[in-house]
Amino acid sequence: MTKTTEPQAYIVSLTDYNNGVLHGVWVELTYGAEHVYEEIEAMLAESPTAKETGEEAEEWAVHDLEGLGDITEHDIEELCELAEGADQYGEAYLLFVENYGNSLISEFQDSYRGEFNSEVDYAYELIESTGMLDGVDPSIARYFDYESFARDMFMDGFTFIEGKQANHVFDDNF
């Protein structure tokens, strides 16, 4: 599985932002929520507006994400869970989350079938790896219609998703 950019969030001080000052920090999400909160506290402690006015900077917001595809979740704990899956499984995990709305790594593992060039390639691999045609006379087996079999599989129970880095197959019955 191909890995994406390291999952990170750009977190800004709202005290500064509301006063026309952009003050924030990029934080690696794969280190966990505790690390993210420590980085936020350190960033807020360095608030230019707070230092100038004596007002304490307490509020913050996530303004940008990298390495998490099209995911826009802004809850720190959820972002860190997503980052763990993205760090471990790359684009395939992010496509799973985007298409199934599910971020559980165990369910991704149950659903993900791998990278394949096409639906037919997956059908061929499945038939070969499970031995579906073993024992069938070769003079009959050669007439097996892989294209039709693949079409039927992907109409009911499997999903083929074209990613930016590879194409991925998921079993919808996870």
| Domain end marker among 67, 101, 135 | 101
| Domain end marker among 60, 80, 101 | 101
Q: Do 135 and 62 share a structural domain?
A: no
Q: Do 85 and 14 share a structural domain?
A: yes
State the pTM of this model: 0.74
Q: Using an 8 Å Cβ cutoff, are 62 and 11 in contact? A: yes
Question: Domain span at residue 149?
Answer: 108-171
> What is the chain's pLDDT, residue by residue, as a tens digit (174 residues)?
444 478 999 999 999 999 999 999 999 999 999 999 999 999 999 999 999 998 899 999 999 999 887 777 778 998 999 999 998 999 999 999 999 988 889 999 999 999 999 999 999 999 999 999 999 999 999 999 999 999 999 999 999 999 999 999 999 998
Q: Do 33 and 115 share a structural domain?
A: no
CA–CA distance, 152 with 127 (Å, rounded to integer): 14
Q: Using an 8 Å Cβ cutoff, are 113 and 171 in contact? A: yes
Q: Do 78 and 22 share a structural domain?
A: yes
In a domain, 146, yes or no: yes
List b or e across 15-24, with b for residues whose CB sees 16 or more CB atoms inside 10 angstroms.
Answer: bbbebeeebb
Q: Using an 8 Å Cβ cutoff, are 38 and 32 in contact? A: no
Q: Do 139 and 74 share a structural domain?
A: no
**Contacts (Cβ under 8 Å, ≥6 apart) of 144:** 127, 133, 136
In a domain, 2, yes or no: no
In a domain, 1, yes or no: no
What is the number of structural domains in the chain?
Answer: 2
| Domain end marker among 45, 78, 101 | 101
CA–CA distance, 51 with 129 (Å, rounded to integer): 65
Identify the residue whose tokens are 């009911």: 156
pLDDT (0 to 100) of residue 4: 47
